[in-house]
């Protein structure tokens, strides 16, 4: 027996050993996907109103003012990244990324809650502001996690099922089709749970919140379709295992 152990060759210890990092873009996409999710969930705690000086309604549906949340401009990017993951890596790999994001949001919420409970220093004057922005509101956390998980999994499932039928053709159809299903489920679940927390109390505001959120996210997907095409092509070209 040597000092290295009975089954270990001394030659293995002649240099520093490191694990090899693969060249797959998957890790980078998952990191960005998770970051977008965490940032947009924090931004969503702020209620947003556009055209507050105007009022327009069609029956019970309020068109103006437009009511939404602070994550409206960023959250669609999470679905674009989800489309890239689903198109290139399939449902199982996307589901794993969704679970990573789910865990990251849950961990951040736990850390914010612990920080909120810690006694503030005498010189710290931002406790109330911290609680208002980052304080864990159970309904908001449940709304964000439930809407995200259901919406992203549906988005990925629909895209992959369409691709199994169309193969490499009609990318636009599976990108838009999956977004319509996933975004609608996500928006409806999130708004149903979180509406009261951000100050939406009337039926008209709630319907406006759902419709505006859904139409905005879907419209963004359509507008940036050429960019999504290029990103998917780029990832496919540089993914050694894509077949």
CB neighbours of residue 215 within 10 Å: 13
pLDDT tens-digit readout, 103-138? 998 898 889 889 989 999 999 999 988 887 777 667
- The span from the CA of 175 to the CA of 47, in Å, is 29
pLDDT tens-digit readout, 140-167? 778 878 988 999 999 999 999 999 999 8
Q: Quick one: average pLDDT of 178-200?
A: 84
User: Which residue, chain included where needed, has tokens 């809650």?
Assistant: 113
Highest mean pLDDT among 37-46, 88-97, 140-149, 213-222: 88-97
Predicted local distance difference test score (pLDDT) of residue 9: 57
Residue 97: which pLDDT band, with cuts at 50, 70 and 90? very high
Residue 201: which pLDDT band, with cuts at 50, 70 and 90? confident
- The span from the CA of 184 to the CA of 123, in Å, is 46
pLDDT over 70 (residue 25): yes
Predicted local distance difference test score (pLDDT) of residue 85: 94
DSSP state letter for 23: -
Tokens representing 132 are 């208002």
Q: Would the pTM count as exceeding 0.85?
A: no
Contacts of 206 (CB under 8 A, 6+ apart): 191, 195, 200
CA atoms within 13 A on the CB side of 50: 10
Q: Can you say how many angstroms the Cα of residue 79 is from the centroid of all Cα atoms in its chain?
A: 7
């Amino acid at each position: 027996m040597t000092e290295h152990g009975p089954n270990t060759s001394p030659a293995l210890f002649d240099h520093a050993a490191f694990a090899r990092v693969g060249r797959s873009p998957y890790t980078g996409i998952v990191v960005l996907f998770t970051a977008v999710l965490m940032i947009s969930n924090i931004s969503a705690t702020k209620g947003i109103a556009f055209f507050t000086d105007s009022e327009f309604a069609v029956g019970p549906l309020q068109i103006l003012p437009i009511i939404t949340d602070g994550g409206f401009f960023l959250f669609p990017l999470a679905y674009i990244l989800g489309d890239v993951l689903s198109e290139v890596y399939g449902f199982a790999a996307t589901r794993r990324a969704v679970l990573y994001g789910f865990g990251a949001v849950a961990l951040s919420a736990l850390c914010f809650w612990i920080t909120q409970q810690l006694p503030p220093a005498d010189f710290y004057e931002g406790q109330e502001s911290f609680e208002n922005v980052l304080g864990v509101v159970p309904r908001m956390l449940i709304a964000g996690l439930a809407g995200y998980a259901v919406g992203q999994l549906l988005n990925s499932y629909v895209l992959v099922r369409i691709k199994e039928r169309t193969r490499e053709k009609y990318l636009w159809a599976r990108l838009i089709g999956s977004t319509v299903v996933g975004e609608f489920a996500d928006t409806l679940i999130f708004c149903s749970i979180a509406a009261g927390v951000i100050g939406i109390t009337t039926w008209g505001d709630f319907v406006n919140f759902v419709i505006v959120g859904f139409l905005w996210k879907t419209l963004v997907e359509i507008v940036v379709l050429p960019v999504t095409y290029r990103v998917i092509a780029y990832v496919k070209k540089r993914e050694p295992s894509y077949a």
